[in-house]
A and B are shown apart, each in its own frame.
Chain A
C-alpha cells in the first residue's frame, strides 16, 4: 500500500503528520506501525507520540533536535514502513446491558432509524469492532466497524453528565465512556467493565488495534 502524508508544525515542539481526512482501516494500521517504530527507535530528541484515526503527532525536545531534523527522522520511518495485512491486538469481550435506564437514547434511535429497539440492540451487540484510537478521555476508545443501519448523529446539545460505562454512537463510530463526563454521543447501553483504572499498573483495558466483541447481558 502506498501512503502519502502532509507535515505541519504544531506549536514549537510537535510535528503533526496527516495521512488522510477520512477514516480508513489500512491507514490506521499504517499509523499504528509508525507509532511502534517511533517508540522503539526513539529518534534523537523524541519525547512522545500519539495518534488519532488518520494522523499522528510527535513531541520533541527543542534543546536536542529541531522541527526540520525530527520531520526528517519521522519521514524516514514512514518511508521504511510497509504493511501487507491488517493486524489486530487482543480480543476483549465487553458485557453490555441495553435498556431504557442504561440507554436513554434508544427511543430516539428507534424513531430516527425507523427500526425497533430490539433490532438496534441485536445489530449493535452482534458487531465486531476495532479500537482505532484513544482520545477525549483516558481510555475512551473510538471503535470502528459500526453497521451502517444504526449510524446516528451526535446530539445537538451535549449532555452535562454521561455516567461511566455508557455506550454511545456518533455517526459511524461507537464508543464507551470510561469516566463520568459531559458528552454528545447517543447513549444506547452500559457496561460494568472498567476501561480505566488510574491506580493499576496497567490502567487501560483496551489499546488501539484491539478487537471488541459484545456480550449482551
Chain B
C-alpha cells in the first residue's frame, strides 16, 4: 500500500532522492551516482528498518521544511545538524515516530554538509537504469520541489526505536597510489602525503577541488583518457588535486596520483568548503 507521508513546504538548498547508485552503465559514460555518504544512507535505512539500498533524501545544508501528512517512522544521519520537529530539537542517529501535522526542519549544521532522511518503507520513486538516484546534470529526475508529496510503500507496522553512534568523520583519507604514479617524482609524492589541503568553493556531487601545496608532474598532467572511480584523486596541470565523487565522470585524462580506499569514501560526503584534508599512503 502506498501512503503519502510528507509534503515539501521548503525544499531547502538542494535535496535529492538517492540510493546506493547505478551499476553497469559506466561503460556508456553514466556515473554511479547514489548517496555521496553511503555509510549515512545505509545507517539511516537500518534505523527505519529498510533494506540498505532504499532511496532516502540527501539534504544539502539547512533550510528544508517538511510537513508530516501521516504518522511515520523516520531517522536522520550524516551531517551533525540541528533537526527540529515542531521547533523542538530531536536526535539524529535514532528512530523517530513523527505524527501527522508535525513540521520537520533543519536549522543549523554544526559540522558536515549532507543530512540523510530515511522513512520506514522507503520513498516511492521511479527507477532510472536500475536506480532511484537523481542526477539532474544527465537528465535523470529532479531535485525536490515545493509542494511535492512524498510517499512510502509501508503499512502501519510498528518498528523498534533504535539508535546508532555517529561514525568518525575526521577528514583524513587513506590512499592507494596509482595508476599514474609514474607521472610524479618521489619528492612530489611525499609532498602530497605530507601537506594538508583545503576544500575550495568548487565543490559539488561530481568532485571536490582542493587548494594547497602544488604537486608538479614529471612531464605533463595529461594521460590518455582512462577509467576513473569515486575517490580518484586527479592532479591537473595547475597541480591542485581534485577528488572525484559519486556523480564524477567515468573516464578522465588528468594524471591520477591515487584512489581513496573504500572504507574512507563516505567521509567525502561531509567534506565542505574550508575543511582541511590530509592523506596517508596505504598498500590496500
Contacts and interface: CB of A to CB of B under 8 A. Distances in A.
B142 to A, nearest CB: 12
Given A140-B29, A204-B28, A52 B225 contact: yes
Contacts of B262: 11-13, 62
A50 B249 contact: no
B140 interface: yes
A198 B33 CA distance: 14
Nearest to A173: B225
A127 interface: no
B257 to A, nearest CB: 12
A10 B178 contact: yes
Given A47-B23, A54-B224, A10 B128 contact: no
| Interface core residue of B224, B226, B231, B260 (most chain A CB under 10 Å) | B226
Contacts of B30: 138
Nearest to B22: A48
Q: How large is the interface on B (under 10, 10 to 19, 20 to 34, 35 or more residues)?
A: 35 or more
B223 to A, nearest CB: 7
A133 interface: yes
A168 interface: no
Interface string B105-132: 0000000000000000000000011000
Interface in A109-137: 133-137
B229 interface: yes
B28 A9 contact: no
Contacts of B259: 10-11, 14
B146 to A, nearest CB: 24
Interface stretch (A18-26, A80-88, A93-101, A144-152): A18-26
Interface in B231-284: 231-232, 249-252, 259-263, 284
A57 B227 contact: yes
B225 A10 contact: no
Contact of A136 (B140, B223, B226, B251): B251
Contacts of B29: 134-140, 178
A77 interface: no
A100 B23 CA distance: 40
A35 to B, nearest CB: 7
A48 B263 CA distance: 19
A53 B28 contact: no
B224 A50 contact: no
Scoring A22, A23, A196 by chain B CB atoms within 10 A of each residue's CB, the highest score goes to: A196
Closest 7 pairs (CB-CB, A-B): A135-B251, A12-B262, A11-B259, A57-B227, A50-B27, A50-B26, A8-B178
13 contacts: A9-B178, A10-B178, A13-B262, A18-B179, A22-B224, A49-B27, A50-B251, A51-B227, A133-B225, A133-B251, A135-B249, A137-B138, A198-B140
Given A10-B176, A57-B227, 6 more contacts: A10-B178, A10-B232, A11-B231, A53-B224, A133-B225, A136-B249
Interface of B: 23-30, 128-129, 137-140, 176, 178-179, 223-227, 229-232, 249-252, 259-263, 284
Interface of A: 8-14, 16, 18, 20-23, 35, 47-57, 59, 62, 67, 133-140, 142, 178-179, 196, 198-199, 203-204, 207-208
